[in-house]
Amino acid sequence: MSERLDTYRRKRRAGETPEPFDDPSAGDPNGRRFVIQHHLASSDHYDFRLEHDGVLLSWAVPKGPSTDPREKRLAVRTEDHPVSYADFEGLIPAGEYGAGPVIVWDAGTWTPAAQEREPDTAATAAGRRRLVDEALENGHLRFWIDATKLSGGYVLQRFEGEDQWLLIKVDDGEADARRNPTSTEPESVLTGRTPEQVAGDEGGH
Ligand code: MN
């Protein structure tokens, strides 16, 4: 497993949490999975994850993503996760790190964008990796999402220190100020369950 996952492993106890520890998908340097997990932990939040270079880059977004370009959502960078975490849905037991239910709220793929309004489809895989590394360094990552609930351009803009970013919808054809998918579409795209249902299904025994 990548040493980039040391922090992930240090925070969790294998055997005590159902979260993945092995990572069969690591090693595809060109993978571009996208997932948002709704995590009803002690503080309710959405985990926004982008596959890059064998791990899932991760941000915790307390209010979740918006489809309104005028809404800037706080996104706190958190530790890289194993790529297999993109399929994780379940209940982290009481007493463990991040205790509470997790659902796969949205899933699909993503593409980093060098240009203002176009996904950079012509770039090579190595070119895209470099683009993302530079964007993380510079604190300005622009990308396109193709998922079940969210699509179109988004920007992650760092504004303070290492970890404080803003998640903002690009004002494109997929922007819609009237949509509010975190409240109107609360179910898992994998199982149709809400976090409360996952807690009920897997807790209490
Ligand atoms: Mn979380």
Secondary structure string (H, E, C) spanning 190-201: CCCCCHHHHHHH
Contact criterion met (CB below 8 Å) for 33 and 53: no
Q: How many whole angstroms from 121 Cα to the centroid of ligand 1?
A: 31
Other C-beta atoms lying within 10 Å of the C-beta of residue 88: 20
Which tokens sit at 177? Answer: 């100020």
Residue 133 carries which side chain, given as an amino acid letter?
D
The protein residues having their C-beta less than 5 angstroms from ligand 1 (an ion) are 39, 47
The pLDDT value given to residue 71? 97
Distance 49 CA to ligand 1 centre (A): 10
H or E stretch at 52: strand 44-52
- 61 CA to centre of ligand 1 in angstroms: 9
pLDDT of residue 114: 75
Tell me the pLDDT band of 197, cut-offs 50, 70 and 90. very high
| pLDDT category of residue 47 using cuts at 50, 70 and 90 | very high
Distance in Å, CA 127 to ligand 1 centroid: 30
How far does residue 123's CA lie from ligand 1's centre (Å)?
Answer: 32
Which tens digits make up the pLDDT trace of 114-160? 765 555 666 788 888 889 999 999 999 999 999 999 999 999 999 98
Q: Tell me the average pLDDT of the chain.
A: 91
- Give phi and psi for 172, each to the nearest 5: -125, -170
pLDDT (0 to 100) of residue 2: 66
Ligand 1 centroid from CA 40, angstroms: 8
The burial class, CB within 10 Å (0-12 / 13-18 / 19+), for 204 is exposed
Percent above pLDDT 70 for the chain: 92
Question: Could you tell me the CA-to-CA distances from 67 to 36, 74, 172, 177 in Å, in that order?
Answer: 14, 14, 10, 6
| Tokens describing residue 125 | 């895989």
Measured distance CA(85)–CA(141) in Å, rounded:
22
58 CA distance to ligand 1 centroid (A)?
Answer: 9
Ligand 1 centroid to Cα of residue 45, in Å, is: 6
Tell me the pTM. Answer: 0.93
State how far the Cα of 101 lies from the Cα of 82, in Å rounded to an integer: 18
pLDDT given at position 123: 72
Alpha carbon of 178 to ligand 1 centroid (Å): 27
